[in-house]
Amino acid sequence: MKILAIDSSGMPASVAVCEDGTLLAEYTLNFKRTHSQTLVPMLDEVRNMLELDLESIDAIAAAGGPGSFTGLRIGSAAAKGIGLALDKPLIHVPTLEGLAYHFYGSPCLVVPMIDARNKQVFAGIYTFGQIQPEKDTEPEDPLRVICDQTAIGVAQLCTRLNELAQESGKTVLLLGDGAHVYRDLLEEQLTMPHWYAPAHLSQQKAGSVAVRAADLARQGKLETAAQHRPDYLRVSQAERVRAQRLGQ
Amino acid sequence: MRQNEAHTDIRILAIESSCDETAAAVVANGRKVLSNVISSQIDIHTLYGGVVPEIASRKHIERINQVVQQALDDAQMSLDEMDAVAVTYGPGLVGALLVGVAEAKAIAWAKNLPFIGVHHIEGHISANYIEHPDLEPPFGCLVVSGGHTHLVRVKDYGEYEILGKTADDAAGEAFDKVARAIGLGYPGGPKIDKAARSGDPLAIEFPHGKVRGSEYDFSFSGLKSAVLNYLNDKKMKGVQIRTEDVAASFQKSVVDVLVGHSEAAIREYGFRKFAIAGGVASNSALREAMEAMCRKRQVEFYRPSPILCTDNAAMIGAAAYYEYIKGVRSDWSLNAIPNLKLGER
């Protein structure tokens, strides 16, 4: 299966092409230019370098959220446009599952987190070892979802991680921009053994999105380009304010 | 590979998502609309009394593929029969624009089609090319919508000189704000137009906004304040107001200014043809007053049908055609530009 993957959920823009067990290309750029300016030129570069016939692509994978609302939409619209043009299915990869795949096979508690401002993060807790999963994942799924990705306060996340690490004896492995932004807070509140991912394994990369997508595709988790939409994990501010007002 | 290399028509798939309409169209040779699909989000934004940018952006991404596919289906064509893909890249709400830009770019890239970014106002002006196949530049044009008030000299296809623009609120924005103040709700334009029909336009004398030292510029914030002051004053005194009279008098004040500026431009620049465009160009009082003024001045008057006045993609396809034949192409790094100026690239 040949997958074209896109991740523009955070600061880096990243595209990759993966065919079965081989990563043919991965191009990641973490620079000031916007995803709108960089994403398609990067795709074009990859196509040219690989002499890629787009018709040979089986599916397009997109990091589907959480992340920057605008960034998610740029990646999503690009994937949807390509899917529409080529009549190919899409694979929605939860952003934090993509990040967790940087540590495929790790027995640690893998904890990707994205800054959601005000001491909040979008975070998930995963492992690749044997542990009772909270979400009913498929038996052949190598990823064990202990806590599905959600918006959570950093302090609350730390409490949960301390408990989980205590119970399982596993080391906590922190990655993503949230781990960087809230490092002081994490240091203050995490009492169990933990460490931080290095630069090359801490940010979004489309290669991991492609590999996760292949596993999701094996579980039949494909959608049409028209169906695909980002999963923001948060309603818009206007909707939140309105709901509060109506609730009062 | 193109399936139909022999066709002589230039067909453009156009996408527009600058505000709260998700739209796609197929246009042949800049004049013939083969399809024109508009998915409006107005019901959602009405709950908030105006367009909420984040919600607009979210709705665009949910609808865009269905809208594009519908445009192709209605035209009974596939992407293989398109010659280019065009998209509005500004001005507008940046998050909303980005959805259309990313989608259009990806489609063009995946199908190896030329890609053309279009200015939203240029689209509105070009709606007249669709409605009036005989219309050719040069002409004068007044573009009035919820976000824009521009008096433009159209020198040639794609060549514009802005004679005047609003110093504060756009005309349509003033309609929305006044409609909210007198309890008519959103969207203000059509609601005020309707209420004004049973009101007296001479009941209240509201000011005609002027911008000192610039004959063709507009200002509507003073008028809006005058209406709010009037309402407060009557409320304080416990005097009942007639909503229809306020609507009609306010509308008259806006229309007087728009027509007055247009007439002055016709005199100075000697336009033989004059067009209106944009959402507010659907306003019945504006249409009638403009037509009467043009008749008096013996100037040919042009205005698009209401469906082409509202934000739509057919107008983008029309504007894109004239860029296409000039050889203008956008590259893959094209960004959305929320405050894009007319005539800039």
Share of chain A above pLDDT 90, in %: 92
The per-residue pLDDT for B328 is 96
What letter represents residue A82's amino acid? I
pLDDT digits (tens, 9 = 90+) for B250-297: 999 999 999 999 999 999 999 999 999 999 999 999 999 999 999 999
pLDDT digits (tens, 9 = 90+) for B324-341: 999 999 999 999 999 999
- ipTM value, please give it: 0.95
The per-residue pLDDT for B2 is 47
Query: What's the CATH fold of domain A96-201?
Result: Nucleotidyltransferase; domain 5 (3.30.420)
What stretches of A51-196 show up as alpha helix (H) in DSSP?
69-86, 95-100, 154-168, 177-181, 183-189
B110 vs A74: CB contact, 8 Å cut-off?
Answer: no
Q: Does B240 lie in the same domain as B164?
A: yes
Pairing of strands A172-175, A194-196: parallel
Q: Does B99 lie in the same domain as B143?
A: no
The per-residue pLDDT for A133 is 52
Inside any domain, residue B270: yes
- Report yes or no: B311 and B148 within 8 Å, Cβ to Cβ: no
Read off the pLDDT of each residue in A140-149 and give the average, rounded to a whole number. 92
Give the gap in angstroms from C-alpha B162 to the nearest C-alpha of chain A: 28
Report the domain count for chain B. Answer: 2
Residues of chain B numbered 5-64 and touching chain A (CB < 8 Å): 47-48, 52, 54-55, 57-58, 60-62, 64
Give the gap in angstroms from C-alpha A79 to the nearest C-alpha of chain B: 7
Q: Does B287 lie in the same domain as B145?
A: yes
Main-chain dihedrals φ then ψ at residue A60, nearest 5 degrees: -110, 130
Inside any domain, residue B61: yes
Q: Does B208 lie in the same domain as B104?
A: no
- Across the A/B interface, how many CB contacts are shorter than 8 Å? 111
DSSP state letter for A144: E
Inside any domain, residue B203: yes
For residue B344, what are its two tokens? 């800039």
Closest residue of chain B to A246, computed from CA coordinates:
B47
Domain of B160: which CATH number? 3.30.420.40
Predicted confidence band of residue A214 (pLDDT cuts 50, 70, 90): very high
Which structural domain, as residue segments, surrounds residue B78? 11-127+309-326
Q: Does B80 lie in the same domain as B208?
A: no
The per-residue pLDDT for B212 is 83
Q: Does B209 lie in the same domain as B235?
A: yes
Give the gap in angstroms from C-alpha B257 to the nearest C-alpha of chain A: 35
B65 vs A226: CB contact, 8 Å cut-off?
Answer: yes
Q: Does B190 lie in the same domain as B88?
A: no
B55 vs A225: CB contact, 8 Å cut-off?
Answer: no
pLDDT digits (tens, 9 = 90+) for B157-172: 999 999 999 999 999 9
Q: Does B189 lie in the same domain as B40?
A: no
Q: Does B27 lie in the same domain as B148?
A: no
Closest residue of chain A to B79, computed from CA coordinates:
A85
The closest CB to that of B110, out of A69, A81, A226, belongs to A81
Quote the pTM value: 0.94
The per-residue pLDDT for B1 is 43
pLDDT digits (tens, 9 = 90+) for A80-138: 999 999 999 999 999 999 999 999 999 999 999 999 999 999 999 999 965 455 565 55
Return the CATH number of A2-95+204-218, one of 3.40.50.300, 2.60.120.260, 3.30.420.40, 3.40.50.970.
3.30.420.40
B101 contact A CB<8A: yes
DSSP state letter for B218: B
Beta bridge partners of A27: A15
Whether the ω angle into residue B91 lies within 30 degrees of 0, i.e. cis, is yes
What stretches in chain B show pLDDT beneath 50? 1-4
Q: Does B117 lie in the same domain as B145?
A: no
Which stretch of A139-143, A220-224, B212-216, B227-231 has the lowest confidence by average pLDDT? A139-143
- Among B64, B111, B330, most A C-beta atoms within 10 A, so best to mutate, is B64
A229 vs B62: CB contact, 8 Å cut-off?
Answer: yes
Inside any domain, residue B90: yes
Inside any domain, residue B253: yes
The per-residue pLDDT for B22 is 98
Whether A96-201 and A2-95+204-218 are alike in CATH topology: the answer is yes
B66 contact A CB<8A: yes
Q: Does B148 lie in the same domain as B25?
A: no
User: CA B152 to CA A174: how far, in whole Å?
Assistant: 57
Q: Which residue ranges make up each domain of chain A?
A: 2-95+204-218, 96-201
Chain B residues within an 8 Å CB radius of A74: 98, 102
Chain length of chain A: 248
- Report yes or no: B277 and B125 within 8 Å, Cβ to Cβ: yes
Chain B residues within an 8 Å CB radius of A243: none
